[in-house]
Copies of this chain bind each other. A is one copy, B any other.
Amino acid sequence: MERHFDEELNQLKKELLRMASLAEEAVAKAIKALEKRDESICRQVLAEEERINMLEIDIEEMCLRLLALRQPMAVDLRFITSAMKINNDLERIGDLAVNIAERTLDLLTEPLLKPLIDIPRMAMIVQGMVRDVLEAFIKGDSKLAREVCRRDDEVDNLNDQIFRELLTYMISDPKTIKRALDLILVARNLERVADHATNIGEDVFYLVEGRTIKHHIEEKQSDK
């Protein structure tokens, strides 16, 4: 039975990795659609949301089944409850990619406001966070998890910078307002993807180390 249980846990890991790559890919495609001004890629992102949603339900049921039938203790228990939370975060990342695709469809009805530089850069960082935090989960690498959480500040800074820049566009030319707003919301959706990756990172850290880096409790405790 132990052996079988290990196989089941491996299966769960595999499914979560699949979920993560679907979510990451959705974000990547949404940003590619924005960069290339390509409606068909937007439509793809919208169409593929269903798969992510279905997979979320499958993974959740897999976790509940493992909890009910295997009655796992300690480490395995925490692993499965973390998997449930991570699954949830990944599904929401999929939703955010859909939001970006919808904003992009809106942006395609008007001419390009400005060449995009910071948003693709932000997207690269955010996708890396999703990828690396899942690797940290699978490998039980708390150092990598913490490092991913730290990247969140960089994303927040980029988001603020994008916001301020687009604000100046809007103020100097009211004709740009709608497009600038759409871009602000794209950046904000990316920032939320990074927040979910950070949540996952905090869960992984807790899972591996048995103590929390959530809410910067650690930094406060160590007077940093």
Stretch at the interface among A38-46, A78-86, A132-140, A145-153: A78-86
In angstroms, Cα B73 to Cα A212, docked, is 28
A77 and B67 form a contact (CB under 8 A): yes
Partner of A84, one of B84, B172, B215: B84
B81 and A73 form a contact (CB under 8 A): no
In angstroms, Cα B19 to Cα A81, docked, is 20
Contacts of A217 in B (CB 8 A): 53
Q: List 22 A-B contacts (CB under 8 A).
A: A50-B215, A53-B217, A56-B214, A57-B214, A63-B81, A64-B77, A64-B78, A64-B81, A67-B81, A68-B73, A68-B74, A68-B77, A71-B71, A81-B84, A167-B177, A167-B181, A170-B174, A170-B177, A171-B174, A177-B177, A181-B181, A188-B188
